[in-house]
Amino acid sequence: MPELQARSRSAAPRTDRRHRVTAALTAAAPALGAYAVVRAVGLLVFWASASAAGKDAPHLLGGRWDSVWYQRIAEHGYGYTATLPDGSLHPDLAFFPLLPALERSVAELTPLTVQGAGLLVAWTAGLLAAWGIYAVGARLHGRRAGVLLAALWGVHPTAFVQSMAYTETLFTGLAAWALYAVLRDRWIVAGALCVPAGLTRPSAVALIAALGVAAAAVLVREYRTAGGHGLLRRNARMLLGVCLAPLGWLAYVVFVALRESSPFAYFEVQAQWGNSIDGGRALAAFIAGLPLPAAFGLCAALGLLGWLVFLCVRQRQPLPVLVYGIAIVVVSLIGSGYFGSRPRLMMPAFPLLLPPAVALAGPRTTARAVVTLGVLALGSAAYGAWTLLGAGPP
């Protein structure tokens, strides 16, 4: 009898967790459905365009550009360096390890090729990211805003990348759930989620900074109101989460340093790819070198971006959410790398979409929301098909 009671007590928490997950998934179902629909529009338009052009759609999604580098790492590990015609070197150490590790694991456990595994990971991560984005939006502004936030992320101008074997969906999913954990005061969970995020993309520094700034604000506020006695003890879980956050990113930087026998090897590798921090000088020079209409168009796009940042500040977004969104934008703009990738690099900054999501979430805006999402979905799909059928990388 005591054994039966013990088993019952141990089964109860598992049942409760299962019920909570089921309830959360049920609540998120409209957001996941809306996200799936708008992404399906993008895929259908692209697939039809690829068929009309006589091109292999799966290869275009999973077998070109950065996807090839990740798949090579998944199959052979690190150690490959491409030599360009001008003699410059591109080592594969510029690519973070989590996606290729997942690709290799999925390929070993399923009949899929590494390329197919990359697409499966990216598409699954896209749904998990949409769920996390919905969770953040719903917690801050209600379920309707959360649904629209996830759908708007699915019609981002570069949303076609969410269907490619790239790292953006995986990173965005980890970041969204980490921010949701912070909003619920689950700092250790948030820090733990930052670890794989730091093994996914270098832009994890934005997420790490968001946790650090938010924690610092909490400590300052408590110090002013309650003094310093017991301050660290009261916030031990928060501080542990903040200490966990950078471990993934640091682990990869240390790995590259040890492999290359140089403490700054990771930054040297990035410089070989032309990716260095210059404070935006390269961006300014790029704009100055464009034809006048193109320069005006790019400046208008940057103006829209600045307006969205202003709206986020005016919306009084919680500090970790606000810092994360702005930091992603800043990190994406102050480097000297390939400028065609800047919109893609900013795609994880989903908090920028909170103001329009809230604006569309009013009680009498259903028709406007549907029309807006439809137009944006078609525009995003057309741009995605045009980009994927082109020669240059996104």
Number of domains into which the chain is organized? 1
2 lies in some domain: no
Higher-pLDDT residue of 245 and 87 is 245
Domain that holds residue 293: 29-388
21 lies in some domain: no
19 lies in some domain: no
146 lies in some domain: yes
Residue 6 has pLDDT above 80, yes or no: no
26-83 residue pLDDT tens: 899 999 999 999 999 999 999 999 999 999 999 999 988 999 999 999 999 999 999 8
Q: How confident is the model at residue 5 (pLDDT cuts 50, 70, 90)?
A: low
Residue 11 has pLDDT above 80, yes or no: no
9 lies in some domain: no
3 lies in some domain: no
- pTM for this prediction: 0.94
pLDDT, residue 337, reads 74
Q: Report angle CA 322, 66, 59 to the nearest 5 degrees.
A: 120
Residue 3 has pLDDT above 70, yes or no: no
17 lies in some domain: no
273-304 residue pLDDT tens: 988 888 888 888 888 888 998 889 999 999 99
16 lies in some domain: no
Q: What is the mean pLDDT of the chain?
A: 92
